[in-house]
Amino acid sequence: MTALTTPVLRVRGLRKTFTLHLRDSLRLPVLQGVSLDVAAGECVALVGPSGQGKSTLMKCLHGSYGADSGEVLLARGNGVSIDLATATPQEVIQVRRREMAYVSQFLRVVPRVPAIDVVAERRVDADPAANTLDDAAHDAALARARDEARALFERLNVPRGLWDLPPATFSGGEQQRVNIARGFIQPATLLLLDEPTASLDAANRRVVVQLIAEAKARGTAVVGIFHDEEVRDAVATRCIHVRHDA
């Protein structure tokens, strides 16, 4: 069985409805029985008009939204899968640390943390050697992670003068590059990308395309929303149309 036929993510019958409490509890069905498979080394692009549920599906895959019904099965190795639709919050957090990465359109971080550590801490959190009572091991892991973060910042053209500053005051494009570095620093089984190249210039869009290609080559399964058709054409293995009936 080749990498591209090995399912990493299996979604079956996923349903999500929102209740609008300020409109007499009007129920708005957004996802109605979505099913899809994503293989290792594959990039599946979610396409369709705005408001049809693409971002909702991404948030269900990430565990940010609970599902009304259905399965979101992520392979974890040795034939074991976890259903993210029914997993506990603690289980979802563990998956996010080591097996899942998510790059959204917005950078959400703890205030006053330098950009270099915003990225490096993602790598440290996933390193078992760093999460012990051994201070020396933690410090060594943090040093390695900072080196990897610097390398990503170089590739993404983040000005060196910003590396040790908190990203809250960065421009939209600078924040997005920090966001991308944080998403790519830790190799993931599943990579979720929601408009990763929004607010980026052409040169940095090309860097992101390269990073996605490298992730695919490592066997990462990628699901993404790419409104930039040039980027989508460059990275997507196939497209899946997402829509709901009004």
The pLDDT tens digits of the residues spanning 111-164 come to 889 999 999 999 998 877 667 667 888 888 999 999 999 999 999 999 999 999
Mean pLDDT along residues 159-188: 94
Residues 6 or more apart whose CB falls under 8 angstroms from that of 105 comprise 176, 194, 195, 198
The pLDDT tens digits of the residues spanning 37-88 come to 999 999 999 998 887 899 999 999 999 998 999 999 999 877 789 999 999 9
Alpha-carbon span 215 to 37, nearest angstrom:
18
**Residue 246 — pLDDT band, cuts 50, 70, 90?**
very low
From residue 138, how far is each of 39, 80, 135, 144, 158 by CA, in Å?
Answer: 34, 29, 5, 10, 26
Look-up of token digits 């900072």: 146
Alpha-carbon span 240 to 58, nearest angstrom:
13
Span 40-66+93-241 CATH architecture? 3-Layer(aba) Sandwich (3.40)
pLDDT at site 76: 87
Two structure tokens written together for 31:
């996802």
- Would you list the domain boundaries of the chain? 40-66+93-241
Helix (H, G, I), strand (E, B) or coil at 195: coil
The pLDDT tens digits of the residues spanning 211-239 come to 999 999 999 999 999 999 999 999 999 99
